[in-house]
């Protein structure tokens, strides 16, 4: 199955994937890694969606969406690491160097669509999006589950196998653990290390 992956610039489409079923409900909206903890805790209900709507209006979208026809079926959060408060300041996930890397930190698939290759399409689309926006490299911090089942509520970070299938290599261990599995820092260089094109 082929999916079209586009910048997440249409708020109504983003809302269908990461927004709540009930407008006033308090859900993540993929903000918990992006904004400072105090702001994340204070921002509730519809105000969270309003912030995401503003992010969708920026020149660079806050992530990518996978579409099947005109229907959004998946989301991946991707942005410069420096814009992601939790990762920019993390003590558990190291910075391997001073390169202005981008981070792919969240995958979300529309209910009823798991197992269709949407996460792979999103990862590929997120890499292309980061490259088009000048990222020298992209990172992810998936679980290293060694093939064991990951609880679906914790699978949003992806797996090491998923990132390896897209050409990422392990760059570092982390002290972060999710669902009992260690998270590893996976990295894909997007620039030519020799300086050529």
Short-list 113, 30, 131, CA closest to 66: 113
Q: What percent of the chain has pLDDT over 70?
A: 96
Give the whole-angstrom CA distance, residue 79 versus residue 154.
20
- pTM above the 0.85 mark? yes
Nearest 5°: the CA angle 79, 81, 84 is: 80
Alpha-carbon distance 157 to 149, whole Å?
Answer: 14
pLDDT band at 1 (very low <50, low <70, confident <90, very high): low
Q: What is the pLDDT of residues 138-168, one digit of tens each?
A: 999 999 999 899 998 889 999 999 999 999 9
Give the Cα separation of 119 and 109 in Å (integer): 7
8: Cβ–Cβ under 8 A, 6 or more apart, which residues? 14, 56, 61, 62, 63, 64, 65, 75
pLDDT tens digits, 21-43: 887 888 999 999 999 999 999 99
- Give every CB contact of residue 107 below 8 A, 6+ residues apart in sequence: 74, 75, 76, 119, 122, 123, 155, 156, 157, 158
CATH of 4-189, one of 3.20.20.70, 3.40.33.10, 1.20.1260.10, 3.40.630.30: 3.40.630.30
């Amino acid at each position: 199955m082929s999916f079209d992956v586009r910048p997440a610039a249409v708020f109504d489409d983003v809302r269908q994937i990461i927004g709540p079923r009930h407008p006033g409900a308090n859900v993540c909206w993929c903000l918990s890694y992006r904004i400072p903890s105090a702001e994340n805790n204070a921002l509730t209900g519809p105000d969270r969606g309003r912030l995401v709507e503003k992010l969708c209006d920026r020149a660079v979208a806050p992530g990518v969406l996978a579409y099947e026809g005109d229907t959004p079926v998946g989301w991946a959060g991707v942005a410069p690491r420096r814009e992601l408060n939790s990762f920019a300041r993390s003590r558990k996930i190291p910075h391997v160097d001073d390169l202005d890397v981008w981070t792919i930190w969240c995958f979300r698939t529309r209910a009823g669509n798991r197992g269709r290759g949407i996460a792979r399409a999103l990862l590929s689309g997120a890499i292309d999006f980061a490259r088009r926006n000048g990222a020298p490299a992209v990172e992810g911090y998936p679980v290293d589950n060694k093939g064991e089942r990951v609880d679906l509520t914790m699978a949003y970070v992806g797996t090491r196998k998923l990132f390896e299938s897209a050409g990422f290599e392990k760059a570092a261990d982390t002290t972060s653990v999710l669902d009992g599995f260690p998270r590893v820092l996976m990295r894909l260089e997007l620039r030519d290390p020799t300086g050529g094109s």
